[in-house]
Amino acid sequence: MSERFVIEGLAGKKTLQGEVEIKGAKNAALKALPASVLFEDEMPMGNLPDIEDVRRMQELIAGLKDGPVLRKDIAERLRASIVLTGPVLARDGEVTFPYPGGCVLGERPIDLFLQGFKALGAEVEEKDDLFHFRAKNKKLKGARIFFPFISVTATETLMLAAVLAEGETVLQNAAMEPEIPVLAEYLNACGANITGAGTPTITITGGGLLHAAGRKYVTPPDRIEAGSFIILAALAGKEVKISHCEPKHMGALLAVLRRADVDFEIGKDYVTVFGGNKENSAYKLISVRTHEYPGFPTDLQAPMAVFMSQATGEGTLLETIFDGRFRYADDLIRMGADITVMNPHKILVRGPKNLSRKELEGPDLRAGLAYILAATVAEGTSTINNPYVIDRGYERIEERLFALGLSIRREQV
Ligand code: EPZ
C-alpha cells in the first residue's frame, strides 16, 4: 500500500494562522550522529528531528558493531552516509563503504572525500562496487587539504576524521554552513582541538578519543525548514509565527524577501510573517542566485521558485551548486506557472500566475516541499504521491501545516 498527501488549495487566499515550531536540522543531526564514533563514552544528543534520514543513520551506526563496514542497502540510499566514513576510518584505521545515494540532484561525485582520505595517509582499494580504505599503521596523519570545490559534507567528514589523526590538519576552502561551527564547538568542549570552523580555513589538531561526560549536543534549528515555512507564510498566511528558529542563519533568504516587499518581524528565535498585509501580486519578483553559505541556499531554490511564480515581474533563478535541480519546473508549469528553463542552471520566471490543482510526484525532498507550497496556493485539490521523500527531511509536516489551518491529509492508496 502506498501513501499520498491530499491538499485543498487556498486559491491564492491567505488564511493560515498560528505558530509553527522548527525542529532540529536534518543536515546538522546527520553529521553529529557520525561524530559519536569519535567518543570513548556515550554522546548524548538533544533536539534530534524524528525523520527517516536520522533513523537510517542510526541504523548505519548500529551496524558498525559488526566491524568498520557501512551497510550497503542503507548507505546507497543516504548521501550523508559518507560522513560516517571519516570518523570510522580515523578510529578503526579502516572502513568499507559503497557509493553513497541520496536525492538525485544531478551528478554528486565523491572525489573530494577520496582525495582527502588519501591525503590523510589512507590507501584505497575498490572492489565489487565497494571502497575499502586502510590507514597506514591504522592511524591517519594530519595534512593540508585544499578543496577545489566547496563541499559541506566533505568539509565535515574530513574535519571529523582529523580529530583522531596524528598532528595537524588544515582544511582550506572549507564550507561555512552554521552546522559546522556548532558541531566543532561541541567537539571542542569534549576534548577536540578545532579552530576556524565557520570560516574557509579550519585547523584541527588531532588527539585521542573524546569524552562527552554527559555533555549534550543540541541540534540547531533547521534553517531550511524555517525558510520553507517563512515562504509558505508569505504566500498563504495571514499571520504566522515561525518559532524555535535561528534568524541569523537565514540572512540571505530574509534579505531577498525584504526586497520582495514581504512584511515580517524578526525576533531572537522567531520570525513572524504578516502575509495578510499584502496580496501576493504586490510582492516584487526578485532574481535569486544560489550560493554556498552565507549565500542563498540551494535547498530553498525550489520553494523560492513557487514564491517567484506568485510575485509581480520577471526574474531569473540561477542554481550554482548542482546540475539537475530544476526537475520540478515542468510540474509547476503544468500547474500554470510561467517558467522557462533556460539551461540546466537557470530558469526565467514571470509572475504572478494563478496555479491550479495537479497530481504531483516530488522528485526530491526540497522539490517535494515546493509542491506542498504550490498545492497550497493553487485552486482545487492536489495530490502529492510519494510523501516518503518529504518524510526524509520534515517531521510530521502534515500535522504541523494542518495546525496552521491548511486542509492537508495523508491518505493510504
Ligand atoms: C549538502 O550536500 C546537503 N546535504 C544538501 O542538502 C545541500 O543541498 C548541499 O550540502 C549544498 O548546501 C547534507 O548535508 C546531507 P556538497 P552535499 O558536497 O554535502 C560537488 C537536502 O535536501 N562535489 O556541498 O552532498 C557537488 O557535486 C540536501 O537536505 C564534488 O564535486 O553537497 C556539488 O556540485 C540535498 N565532489 C558541490 O560540490 C565531491 O566529492 C556541492 O555539494 C563532493 C561534492
Q: pLDDT, tens digit, for every residue of 244-256?
A: 999 999 999 999 9
Q: Which residues pair with 341 in a beta bridge?
A: 347
pLDDT, position 118: 96
Return the C-alpha cell found at 71. Answer: 551497510
First-to-last alpha carbon distance for the chain, in angstroms, is 6
CA of 322 to the centre of ligand 1 (A): 8
Is 326 close to ligand 1, i.e. is its CB under 6 Å away? no
Between CA 34 and CA 85 the distance in angstroms is 8
Q: Per-residue DSSP letters for 148-159?
A: SS--HHHHHHHH
Q: Tell me if 331 sits within 8 A of 371, measured CB to CB.
A: yes
Return the C-alpha cell found at 169. Answer: 590538519
pLDDT, position 381: 97
The reply to whether domains 3-23+221-412 and 26-218 share a CATH topology is: yes
Q: Give this prediction's pTM.
A: 0.96
**Phi-psi category of residue 405: left, alpha or beta, with phi > 0 → left and psi -120 to 50 → alpha:** left
pLDDT, position 105: 52
pLDDT, position 107: 57
Indicate which residues carry an active-site annotation: 103
| CATH class of the domain defined by 26-218 | alpha beta
Q: Ligand 1 atom 44: the closest Cα is on which residue?
A: 151
pLDDT, position 31: 98
Is 153 close to ligand 1, i.e. is its CB under 6 Å away? yes
pLDDT, position 362: 81
Give the neighbor-by-neighbor strand order of the sheet with 16-21: 16-21, 237-243, 270-273, 264-266
Residue entry with cell 491530499? 6
Candidates 53, 105, 124, 151: which one to mutate for ligand 1, based on the most atoms within 8 Å of Cβ?
Answer: 151
| CA nearest to 57, candidates 38, 83, 96 | 83
Is 108 close to ligand 1, i.e. is its CB under 6 Å away? yes
Sign of CA dihedral 379, 381, 386, 387: positive
Nearest atom within ligand 1 for CA of residue 105: 35
For the beta carbon of residue 341, count every other beta carbon within 10 angstroms. Answer: 14
Between CA 273 and CA 281 the distance in angstroms is 16
CA of 275 to the centre of ligand 1 (A): 32
- Dihedral of CA atoms 354, 358, 363, 364 in degrees, nearest 10, equals 60
pLDDT, position 61: 97
Q: Tell me if 51 sits within 8 A of 393, measured CB to CB.
A: yes
Nearest atom within ligand 1 for CA of residue 365: 22
The residue count of the chain comes to: 413
Between CA 265 and CA 254 the distance in angstroms is 10
In the chain, which residues have pLDDT < 50? Answer: none
Burial 111-139 (b: 16+ CB within 10 A, else e): ebbbbbbebbbbeeeeeeeebbbbbeeee
CA of 80 to the centre of ligand 1 (A): 9
pLDDT, position 379: 97
Between CA 246 and CA 299 the distance in angstroms is 17
Using omega within 30 degrees of 0 as the cis cutoff, is the peptide bond preceding 294 cis? Answer: yes
Is 109 close to ligand 1, i.e. is its CB under 6 Å away? yes
Is 149 close to ligand 1, i.e. is its CB under 6 Å away? yes
Is 302 close to ligand 1, i.e. is its CB under 6 Å away? no
Q: Per-residue DSSP letters for 330-367?
A: HHHHHHT-EEEEEETTEEEEEE----B--EE--SSHHH
Domain residue extents for the chain: 3-23+221-412, 26-218
- CATH fold of 3-23+221-412 reads UDP-n-acetylglucosamine1-carboxyvinyl-transferase; Chain (3.65.10)
